[in-house]
Amino acid sequence: MLPQLAVSAKILCLLMVVICGAVPSMVRSVRLYSQCSHLYVNVFPNGTVMARSGGNDQPNLTISTRGFSLELLIHSPIQDMYLCFNRSKLVGRRLTRFQAERQPNCLFKEEFVNGYNRYHLMKNEDRYIGFNRRGLQLRRGKSRLPERVHKCLDFMKVARGDDFNLDRHNNMLAGDLPKWRPQRRLRPPPQNSIKPPCHGVRHHHGRYQRRKNCDGT
């Protein structure tokens, strides 16, 4: 009796999908880490999109497919906005999913280049999401960007569950839990490092101590 019920429920679900056109889509919770700004893509309440922090970071995004197609929607659940291009500018727009799925300016295609992810408009192979070192948007099409700037179209897609936790762990170690920061190894070492300089130790304690302090952390 029970298994039969389960089967009926499944058939009902399938029917609903067919009738309503509510095709299931893959939804992934991610953050996009810009290879040029070394910060996550952030959607601000006014719809501005930058790859930098605003003090009150909410860089969680969801990337979902439109039905069975390869077209992707990028949504900020916190701001409840979809990422869309308005001419050359990427903005967060308050649309329903129904509306966003019907806006070619909000539908992206994902590319994999040298281990990084890139996103361009499905309908425009030249219109890529990209940010400069200061986290501001690149407004030019890819074909008009110098080759050396192409890396600014690269993102690390950090998925919830894998590096999300690593990130949180690092922040906890740094005593900096509320803010989401890139992993420490990706940043240049700070100028005013608190580690004692190695040569000073060598001077006072000789070879054995130097190895202990400088190589053995």
Ligand X SMILES: *[C@@H]1O[C@H](CO)[C@@H](O)[C@H](O)[C@H]1NC(C)=O
Which chain residues interact with ligand X by CB under 6 A?
A: 44, 46, 48, 54, 58, 60, 78, 86, 93, 160, 164
Q: How far apart are CA 61 and CA 64, in angstroms?
A: 10
Rounding to the nearest 10 degrees, give the CA dihedral for residues 150, 113, 129, 45.
-120
> Shortest gap between Cβ of 44 and ligand X (angstroms)?
4
Given the complex with ligand X, which of 116 and 164 has the nearer CB atom? Answer: 164
> Shortest gap between Cβ of 45 and ligand X (angstroms)?
7
> Shortest gap between Cβ of 88 and ligand X (angstroms)?
10
> Shortest gap between Cβ of 6 and ligand X (angstroms)?
31
> Shortest gap between Cβ of 210 and ligand X (angstroms)?
42
Length of the chain equals 217
Given the complex with ligand X, which of 44 and 116 has the nearer CB atom? Answer: 44
Given the complex with ligand X, which of 77 and 200 has the nearer CB atom? Answer: 77
**Main-chain dihedrals φ then ψ at residue 137, nearest 5 degrees:** -70, 145
**Main-chain dihedrals φ then ψ at residue 102, nearest 5 degrees:** -105, 10
Q: How far apart are CA 133 and CA 52, in angstroms?
A: 9
Only one residue has tokens 């990337």, namely 63
Residue 132 buriedness (CB in 10 A; 0-12 / 13-18 / 19+): middle
Given the complex with ligand X, which of 124 and 213 has the nearer CB atom? Answer: 124
User: In which element (H, E) is residue 7 found?
Assistant: helix 2-20
Given the complex with ligand X, which of 58 and 171 has the nearer CB atom? Answer: 58
